[in-house]
A and B are shown apart, each in its own frame.
Chain A
Amino acid sequence: MKKIIKYVMTDILRNRIVMIYTIFLLVTSFSVFSLEDNDSKGLLSLLNIILLIVPLVSIVFSTIYVYNSAEFIELLVSQPLKRKSIWLSLFAGLAGSLSIAFFVGVGIPILLYQANAIGGMMIGVGVLLSIIFVAIAMLAAVLTRDKAKGIGVAILLWLYFSILFDGLVLFLLFQFADYPLEKAMIGITAFNPIDLSRIMILLHMDVSAMMGYTGAIFKEFFGTAIGMVISFGVLLFWVLLPVWVATRKFNSKDL
């Protein structure tokens, strides 16, 4: 299993796309911090990168990678190896290398310019988001046989999590404006890892506004140690669930 992970990781890290992705992140992060006159605006731009670009690249790249290594997977399956360990190594390789790419591209500039609670939160959340979207990508790839369809599904999922879900929530908020929705909203965020990550960063970034009436409710939940543990737990759940389902599917899949 270690050997497969090592092979997958070196293969990906040598991949030109991942190199470009890392350099892109590095250049934008540095330029964002050095161009903006105050660092909080820099963080704001980075927030958009973390919430949009990182999931997109993770999900699309992973889907394509899984399809492209179909022959390699077939080769491995013919060896005396458990399917589970093959699939999990593939996941670990992808997640590990994309996390490294993110950490080098965004984490290092943040540590250089904003080594504080917000920065730390951003790095943690970014790494988790990378891993979550690798997991979702692998689920999408194992569910559809056709490559084009699989990539389409991956992009649709990204679109759903980053844009459509929020639109839906906004719609619900206005439809049910007369009801006390604050507590329910906390529950709803658990259904979208991007939203959850955004709120966790927001609580550090816009702390004054978050102390307002509704914000205080969120702060009461997410701001406490238990709330933090729960939110990170939910994010971990978003990794484990797709990986578990995908592994089960892969075990019985006709290659």
Chain B
Amino acid sequence: MLILSLFVCCHLATANTWHVGKGKGLRSVNAAILAAANGDTILVYAGTYYEKNIIVNKKLLLKGIGHPVLDGEKKYEVISVKANGSVIDGFTIVHSGVSSMEDMGGIKIYDSRDVVIQNNILEDTFFGIYVQYGKNCTVQNNQLVSYNPEEQQSGNGIHCWKSDSLRIIGNKITGHRDGIYFEFVTNSIIWLNTSFKNIRYGLHFMFSHNDAYIANHFRDNGAGVAVMFSHGVKMYSNVFEENWGDAAYGLLLKEISDSYIDGNTFIKNTSGIYMEGASRIHMQKNLFKNNGWGMKIQASCMDIEVTLNNFIGNTFDVSTNGSLVLNSFNRNYWDKYDGYDLNKDKIGDVPYRPVSMYSMIVEKNPPAMLLFRSFITSLLDKTEKVIPSLTPEALKDNSPLMKRLF
């Protein structure tokens, strides 16, 4: 035991640096890993390496100099990290294997903690960066591009499963199935990422509690962003843009509770937010601009508090599918509000009903969209405003703001 600990100590004290590259002594990364001990550094110089599967089973700092290319030849998982505290920095990883039996990643973390994956470029990988049973890991400043047009043939960009305390920061993801995918991941943060033109969702949450995603940009994804079956999710200052299609939502919330949606921007989506079975959600200071539907709140939602938001230039501000309303709207700015403010307190004196009758009609009978903005439909809308019959009586903003908030 003593000898062993001495052995380890010696090695820690004299962490070696191994050089891999043409004319650098070692020619392959695998050989360097074999030779290295815990705590060593392996520097890989520019070039293309066909290493099959690289298994990092020691605590190593793997650093690419001048973005060396690791090629998986469309057969292998490129890097498998199985040691705590490893760092993978500055590689270009291309052509990982595609398999329907196992989830091959460009870089995959197995059951490890404190791993850092940073500054890598991943191209044409099945799954990009895959974290499985990871803890306190960091994935930052990576660029992930995939070209597979088929949803079944394509994996997720950053896929995290049964992990805790992850930091996903400043990555750029495009062309994957889901940009970022979280399942059973808790206490994690997703910050400053850009996820665009992915086949399905830009960000996909399942059973992931107490996570935060902040200041990310989601644009033009097949179906927008989906947050499902989770509680305690914080969504701050994100931008959801140009998610077009009948089943595409800026943000889809399904079975979400005790969450916060603050300061986000929803622009030019077919539906800005779609909520189903959501409860106890605070929505504040969001901007809904030029969407087809600003918000679709199904009757299965309750205790949603919508306050101090801007609704500007949406075709329909809010729509719903029933008459039951257990949510509250207060002090929002609606550009379609045509009430007055006699006592000049900047709050309109008559309530605003954000659900227009025509949005109810379109909900039931979609082809009726064809008659939108015709004289007869505006007539129906005006009549409905005076005597509400189809639209839910309780869905109204009792104190609509006269001026835009921000």
Interface residues of A (CB under 8 A from B): 37-38, 40-41, 44, 47-48, 51-52, 162-163, 166-167, 169-170, 173-174, 177, 181-182, 185, 189, 195, 198-199, 202, 205-216, 218
A182 vs B247: C-alpha distance in the bound complex, in angstroms? 17
Across the interface, B376 reaches (CB within 8 A) one of A37, A166, A181, A205, namely A166
Contact B270 A198 (CB under 8 A): no
Q: Chain B interface: which size bin? A: 20 to 34
Given A166-B374, A170-B376, A174-B365, the answer on whether A208 and B245 have CB atoms closer than 8 Å is: no
- Which residues on the B side are within 8 Å of A167 (C-beta)? 376
B127-182 with Cβ < 8 A to chain A: none
Give the chain A neighbours of B352 by CB distance below 8 A: none
Interfacial residues of chain B within 216-251, with CB under 8 A of chain A in the complex:
244-248
Give, as a whole number of angstroms, the nearest-CB distance from B77 to chain A.
38
A37-B335, A208-B290, A210-B369 are known; give 18 further A-B pairs, CB within 8 A.
Answer: A38-B312, A48-B378, A163-B375, A163-B376, A166-B371, A166-B375, A166-B377, A169-B370, A177-B364, A182-B366, A198-B374, A202-B372, A208-B244, A209-B293, A212-B246, A215-B369, A216-B246, A218-B370
User: B39 contacts the other chain (Cβ, under 8 Å)?
Assistant: no
Residues of B within 8 A of A40 (CB): 313
Contact indicator A209/B315 (Cβ below 8 Å): yes
Summarize B's interface: helix, strand, loop or mixed.
Answer: loop
Closest CB in chain B relative to A59 CB, distance in Å: 15
B375 with A51: CB separation less than 8 A: yes
Is the Cβ of B373 less than 8 Å from the Cβ of A202?
yes
**Which residue of A is nearest B336, CB measured?**
A41
Contact A216 B245 (CB under 8 A): yes
- Decide if A206 touches B372 in the complex (CB within 8 Å): yes
Q: How many Å lie between the Cα of A202 and that of B370 in the bound state?
A: 9
Q: Is B208 in contact with chain A by the CB < 8 A criterion?
A: no
Q: Which residue of A lies closest to B380 (CB)?
A: A170
Q: Report A33 CB to chain B, min CB distance, Å.
A: 15
Shortest Cβ distance from residue A178 to the other chain B in the assembled complex, whole angstroms: 10
**Contact in complex: B370, A189 (CB < 8 Å):** yes
Q: Indicate if the CB atoms of B315 and A48 lie closer than 8 Å.
A: no
Kindly report which residue of chain B lies nearest to residue A52, judged by CB atoms: B375
Contact at A170–B368, with CB atoms within 8 Å?
yes
Q: How far is the CB of A227 from chain B (nearest CB, A)?
A: 14
**Whole-angstrom distance from the CB of A54 to the nearest CB of chain B?**
13
Q: From residue B232, how far is it (CB to closest CB) to chain A in Å?
A: 31
7 chain-A/chain-B pairs, Cβ below 8 angstroms: A199-B370, A205-B373, A206-B292, A210-B292, A211-B245, A212-B245, A212-B271
Give Cα A218 to B362, complex, Å: 15
B265 contacts the other chain (CB 8 A): no
Check if B370 sits within 8 Å of A208, measured CB to CB. no
Bound form: Cα–Cα A167–B313 in Å: 27
Contact in complex: B375, A48 (CB < 8 Å): yes
Task: Collect the chain B residues with CB atoms within 8 Å of residue A47's CB.
Answer: 373
Please give the distance in Å from B365's CB to the nearest CB on chain A: 5
For residue A215, which residues in chain B have a CB less than 8 angstroms away from its CB? 292, 369
Give bound CA distance, A172 to B290, whole Å. Answer: 30
Residue pair A209, B369 in contact (C-beta under 8 Å)? yes
Contact: A214 with B313, CB < 8 Å?
A: no
- Does chain A have a CB within 8 A of B291? yes
User: Which residues of the other chain, B, contact A181 by a CB distance below 8 angstroms?
Assistant: 367
Q: Does B118 count as interface, using CB distance less than 8 angstroms? A: no
Q: State A167–B374 Cα separation when bound (angstroms).
A: 10
Known contacts A51-B374, A185-B370, A202-B372: A208-B365 contact under CB 8 Å: no
B370 proximity list for chain A (CB < 8 A)? 169, 185, 189, 195, 199, 214, 218
